[in-house]
Structures are given as structure tokens and as C-alpha cells.
Amino acid sequence: MKRYRRMAVLAMAVLAAAVPAAAPGQTAGTAYAAVLVQGVQGADKGGGPGMVEISRDTKAPAVVDGVIQPQNLEAAREADQMIVVVGTGGCNADTYYYAKSEDSFELVWKEASVVGRGGITSDKGEGDGKTPSGTYGFTMAFGLKEDPGSMLPYHKVVKGDYWVDDPSSSYYNQLVNTSVTSRSWNSAENLAAASPYYNYALALDYNSDRVPGKGSAIFLHCFTASADNGSAGCIRLPESRAKELVQTATEKTRIVIAADITQLK
């Protein structure tokens, strides 16, 4: 019995030594709870005091006092730039553009933007008029205007370019051109007829597996006015901002979309 009491005291001592200092705004109890004793090994093997394994929960909050902490977002682990889209109600959102500077991310600009007319959702479906939440990369850039100097592969839109949004088509969620592809779909976006929205655009890698009905043609592109009533699921920005992002986005750039600031992670 005494041996088990000694082991318990030892475990508590090791645990106390492992507890990090409380961060600003964090209570000592919260800091203490961040350290988990996973187990005491060897207690019944006669080999002396058991081994106490300590695991630290080092995840820092993505938002502190209503301010985004970009370096604490999961996307920051590998991203060179981050575009953070936060819903502010209805089809309205704020878009933040962060560029990496050594080991931190600096806010380059914040811009009012527009998302799906149905808002932002974690359960996107084809035709629901909602923007999918989550973290995504970009597969390509495209536009009705000439390549402004894109870091990603850029496609200049031409007559016959369509993005298929028919879940029953084998070309679902793909860019095709009718000069080389027969029309085997019931619905598709005519990119050449979408001026000025597609003057500059970035294609998100949302539903890259092309699961039928999960949603398609999710882009970041231009809008015509701040009084926009909402998209079919895309993110819309002033043309100058969309053009800038087309010029700077790389294969490591990530876009993070959340229904509100509390949903960021």
C-alpha cells in the first residue's frame, strides 16, 4: 500500500513539473488540464516506480478576444499564404489575406466579400447556394482576361469553355471545351458568358474526388458591386483583390472558410 502511495506522489510531482506556465488570459487550472497523464506503467511488475508518460496539448487558440491568430490556424503548418474567409451574416463575409514572414503571418489586407446566397455550410450539396466551410488549396487560375502573371497554371477562357455541374455526368466538376468534348451533361456553367465575374478566378480543390451531388465549381472570383445578393457557392471579391490573389497564390496557399469567427481552427 505504501509503495502505491509513493508512486502516486511521484506521478503528481512529475505532472506538476510538466505543467506549462499559464499563458496570458489562461488560468492555472486550464494550463494544468492541458497536461495529460496517459498512464503509469510497471506498477504491478515489481520493477520499482512506474513510468509516467506526459502528453502536452500545445494547440493555441485560433481567435483571441475576437482577433484571428493566423499562426495558430491548422493551415499555417504548411501554407506560404492564407486567405481566411469568415461569414458575417447571410451572404456577407470578411476576407483576410495573410502572407508568411519568417515564422509568422502578417495581415496584408482585409476586404468585405460575398459568399453563397445561403451562407456558409459544413454540409455542401449541389445547387444549395451555399459555400463549403473548411480548408482548401487551389488547382488552377483562370480568367476572361489575359494572364496577369499567375503563379499557378492559368487558363485563358475561350468560347466553348464550360464547368460541368451535372452530378450525373462523367465530366462532373471539370473544365471542358465543347470543341473537343461532346455535350454529355444537362447542366454546366458557360465560363465565356460570365463577365465580369470570371475576369480573374481561382479554382478551389473542393470535391476534387468529384463525388456526385457534393458540389462543384467553387471558385474565388470577382464581383460587380458590394451590394451583391450572393453567389451560387463561390467567394466574390473586388476585381483588384481577385487579380492580386491570382498573381500571388501558389500550390502551398490555403483558403480557410468558416461560417463565423468562432468556427476557425
**Active-site amino acid positions:** 221, 234
d(CA 30, CA 28): 5
Between β-strands 138-143 and 254-258, what pairing exists: parallel, antiparallel or unpaired? unpaired
Q: Tell which residue, 76, 84, 75, has the closest CA to residue 102.
A: 76
Distance, CA of 101 to CA of 257 (rounded, Å): 22
Residue 94 grid cell: 470578411
Q: What is the DSSP string of 66-115?
A: TEE-GGGSGGGGT-SEEEEEEEEETTEEEEEEEEEETTEEEEEEEEEEE-
Greatest alpha-carbon span in the chain? 84
Could you check whether the bond before residue 167 is cis, i.e. omega within 30 degrees of 0? no
C-alpha cell at 90: 447571410
Distance of CA 258 to the CA centre of its chain: 8
C-beta of residue 156 within 8 angstroms of C-beta of residue 215 = no
